[in-house]
Amino acid sequence: MMNPSRDCFKMIIVDDEHEIRQGLKNADYASLNIEVVDVCENGLEALKSMDQSPVDILLTDIKMPLMDGLELIQKVSQRHPYTKKIVLSGYGDFEYAKRGIEYGVLDYLLKPLDFEDYYGVLAKTTAILNEEREKLLRQANLERKAKLSAHLLRKNFLGELLRSSLTEETIELDSASAEVMLEMDGTYAVCVLRFQSHPPRPSYDKDSEWGLIVFTLDNLLQDLWDENGYGYHYVDPYNGQCALIVANAEWIGSLEAGRTDLEGELDRIVKALRRFRGLFKSHLAYTIGPIVHRATRIRHSYLDAEFKFEDGPANEEAVRVVSENPSAGNETKTGQTNGKRMVLEVKRFIEHNYDRTITLDDVAKHVHLNASYLSYLFKEITGMNYIDYVTEFRIEKAKTILSESNWKIYEVGEMVGYENPRYFTLIFKKYTGQTPLEYRNTTYKSHAKDG
């Protein structure tokens, strides 16, 4: 097959007459970007040469011993369909030409050869080859881009599916683009594998080393999980945490029956990953989230599986299957206690840092939790989104400052973490129904009236 990455086109010459072979070999091919790689005296010799090293152009005589040119052309058409075939013969029999055309012969030249005609035929041949080469390059590039695009779409979709609350319509549309098969009323569970040094990246890793770890995990789980038809996997690029979405009826059935089949498979996967301990340099542990019965609830199984890690140190091969029932006993109560403690620490962090920009990632790093899990936990414990809590806390601080001081409005905004005065005014009015200045004036009037 033609190789689109080569600089010049490879050509083989086949003729049983020595003088003709040498004369053709010594012609000027450089200007046509052609290299003659072999010269053979019969079709059998040429076929053997081409099977070992395929060429782009075959120039062959018709009448030769052992294997004639027409038989050679027929076999080359079957084995090397991208090779361009040119017939050279001293026989002007139209039947030869017609039979050659049936096998895809590009052109037909008669002896004695007119080299002007010869170079013209070769120029036409290389033009066709160049066009095909460009087409192959474009096709290969498009296929590579499509493959990368599908991989990226799948990675982004699975990350959103696990971390965000998606509607059924969004899941249906995005899963199709990401080439992920999910039934809306399907039954699922999520297993979480993580390094015991989770959540921050191990300190020994340089960026390039960490990239290799994530790449290796992604490829291994593709082979060990996705390719076996168990479901889909996602590797968090920040901390290397792996989520395995169980979409296989057999494993779901074993979970529902209370058997340990899935645990045994996870044990095998973890052991397979241990072969790369020199790369990972940390033990892997796993938990299994509850079974859920809607694709929109896959996120809940994932977050509950994460919660099992926050409930205490996980042993390397520890597995606990958590019921989706909210009254699941002491384990749930212990988890709630730890969760409340984490949320209190988050609130203390906000109280001491509200006067500057603090993102959810900043807070998550402070309390050593995954950001998506912290967002879920904070809402679960407080009933409020993290950003709403921070905003309300800042607005309450701003109201106090406005009512008790003469600081300018933009200065008050900066004191509570808003560098943009206009944005501060908009947020303040959204939460209080008044601009900061209106609030201050109302407060002063109220104080004067009370006085």
The answer to whether residues 285 and 405 belong to one domain is no
CATH number of the domain within which 19 lies: 3.40.50.2300
35-44, 132-141, 154-163 — which is least confidently predicted? Answer: 132-141
The answer to whether residues 290 and 403 belong to one domain is no
Cα separation, 296 vs 185, whole angstroms: 9
Q: Which domain holds residue 110?
A: 9-133
- For residue 363, tell me if it sits in a domain: no
- For residue 361, tell me if it sits in a domain: no
- On whether the CB atoms of residues 285 and 220 are closer than 8 A, the answer is no
CB contact set of 262 (below 8 Å; sequence gap of 6+): 191, 246, 251, 254, 255, 288
The answer to whether residues 283 and 395 belong to one domain is no
Tens digit of each residue's pLDDT (9 = 90 or more) over 301-357: 998 888 777 654 443 333 332 223 333 334 334 344 456 777 888 898 999 889 888
Q: How confident is the model at residue 225 (pLDDT cuts 50, 70, 90)?
A: very high
- For residue 1, tell me if it sits in a domain: no
pTM of the model: 0.43
Rounded mean pLDDT, 159-173: 89
- On whether the CB atoms of residues 70 and 96 are closer than 8 A, the answer is yes
The answer to whether residues 215 and 299 belong to one domain is yes
Q: Is the pLDDT of residue 427 over 70?
A: yes
55-69, 83-97, 104-118, 163-177 — which is least confidently predicted? Answer: 83-97
- Helix, strand, or coil here: 194? strand
The answer to whether residues 302 and 410 belong to one domain is no
The answer to whether residues 190 and 127 belong to one domain is no
The answer to whether residues 290 and 409 belong to one domain is no
Domain boundary among 324, 358, 377: 324
The neighbouring-strand residues paired with 287 are: 192
- For residue 139, tell me if it sits in a domain: no
- For residue 4, tell me if it sits in a domain: no
Domain boundary among 118, 133, 148: 133
- Helix, strand, or coil here: 35? strand
Q: How confident is the model at residue 279 (pLDDT cuts 50, 70, 90)?
A: low
The answer to whether residues 69 and 192 belong to one domain is no
Tens digit of each residue's pLDDT (9 = 90 or more) over 175-222: 887 888 999 999 999 999 887 655 455 554 456 667 777 888 888 898
The answer to whether residues 319 and 189 belong to one domain is yes
- For residue 424, tell me if it sits in a domain: yes
Q: How confident is the model at residue 296 (pLDDT cuts 50, 70, 90)?
A: very high
The answer to whether residues 120 and 191 belong to one domain is no
Domain count, the chain: 3
CATH number of the domain within which 432 lies: 1.10.10.60
The answer to whether residues 45 and 119 belong to one domain is yes
Q: Is the pLDDT of residue 125 over 80?
A: yes
- For residue 404, tell me if it sits in a domain: yes
- For residue 414, tell me if it sits in a domain: yes
Burial 429-451 (b: 16+ CB within 10 A, else e): eebbebebeebbeeeeeeeeeee
